[in-house]
Amino acid sequence: MSTAAAYAIPAPDGSFEKVTIERRELGPDDVLIDIKYAGICHSDIHTARDEWGGTKYPCVPGHEIAGIVAATGSAVRKYQVGDRVGVGCLVNSCGKCVPCLAGEEQYCAKGATWTYNNPVPETVQPGGYTMGGYATQIVVTESFVVAIPDGIGLDVAAPLLCAGITLYSPLRHWNTGPGKKVAIIGMGGLGHVGVKIAAALGAEVTVLSQSLRKRDDGLRMGADHYYATSDKETFRQLRGSFDLIINTVSANLPIDNYLRLLALDGTLVILGLPDQPMSVTGRNLAAFRRSLAGSMIGGVAQTQEMLNFCAAHGIGAEIELISADEIDSAYERVMASDVQYRFVIDTATI
Ligand code: NAP
Ligand code: ZN
Ligand code: ZN
Q: Which amino acid is at 7?
A: Y
pLDDT at res. 230: 98
Among residues 44, 12, 105, the alpha carbon closest in space to that of 304 is found at: 105
pLDDT at 125: 77
Looking at ligand 1, which atom is closest to the CA of residue 270? 41
Ligand lying closest to the C-alpha of residue 342: 1
Three-state DSSP at 349 gives helix
Nearest CA to ligand 1 atom 27: 42
- Residue 90 has a pLDDT of 98
Given a contact cutoff of 8 angstroms between Cβ atoms, the answer to whether 184 and 191 are in contact is yes
The pLDDT of residue 121 is 80
CA distance 121 to 41: 24
Ligand closest to 184 (CA) is 1
Expressed in angstroms and rounded, the spacing between residue 107 Cα and the centre of ligand 3 is 7
User: What does DSSP say about strands 30-39 and 342-346: parallel, antiparallel, or unpaired?
Assistant: antiparallel
Which of 249, 252, 278 has most ligand 1 atoms within 8 Å of CB, for mutation? 249
The bound ligand whose nearest atom lies closest to the alpha carbon of 113 is: 3
CB atoms within 10 A of CB 278: 15
Rounded Cα distance, 187 and 183, in Å: 11
Q: Whose CA is nearest to atom 1 of ligand 1?
A: 188
Q: What is the pLDDT of residues 174-233, one digit of tens each?
A: 999 999 999 999 999 999 999 999 999 999 999 999 999 999 999 999 999 999 999 999
Which positions ≥6 away from 151 have C-beta within 8 Å? 311, 312, 314
Summary count for the chain: helices (H), strands (E) = 11, 17
CA-based nearest residue to 91, from 145, 40, 37: 145
> Cα separation of 350 and 16, whole Å?
11
Q: 263 and 288 in contact (C-beta within 8 Å)?
A: yes
Fold of 2-162+317-349: Quinone Oxidoreductase; Chain A, domain 1 (3.90.180)
Using a 6 Å CB cutoff, which residues line ligand 1? 41-43, 46, 162, 166, 186-191, 209-210, 214, 248-251, 271-273, 295-297, 334, 337, 339
> For residue 165, which phi and psi values (nearest 5 degrees)?
-70, -30
Question: What kind of fold does domain 164-294 have according to CATH?
Answer: Rossmann fold (3.40.50)
Atom 8 in ligand 1: residue holding the nearest Cα? 188
Q: Which helix (H) or strand (E) holds 71?
A: strand 65-72
pLDDT at 114: 97
Please report, for the chain, the start and end positions of each structural domain, with discontinuous segments joined by +: 2-162+317-349, 164-294
Global confidence as pTM: 0.98
Count the alpha carbons within 13 Å of 63 in the hemisphere toward its beta carbon. 27
Confirm whether 2-162+317-349 and 164-294 share one CATH topology: no
pLDDT of residue 1: 79
Answer for the pair 146, 158: CB distance below 8 angstroms, yes or no: no
Point out the ligand 1 atom lying closest to the alpha carbon of residue 211.
Answer: 48
Burial class (CB within 10 angstroms; exposed 0-12, middle 13-18, buried 19+) of 181: buried
CB contact set of 283 (below 8 Å; sequence gap of 6+) = none
Q: What is the pLDDT of residue 126?
A: 79
User: 42, 50, 331: which to mutate for ligand 1, most atoms within 8 A of CB?
Assistant: 42
Regions of the chain with pLDDT less than 70 = none
Q: To test the ligand 1 pocket, which listed residue (187, 190, 230) has its Cβ within 8 A of the most ligand atoms?
A: 190
Residue 161 C-alpha to ligand 3 middle, in angstroms? 20
CA gap 153, 341 in Å, rounded: 16
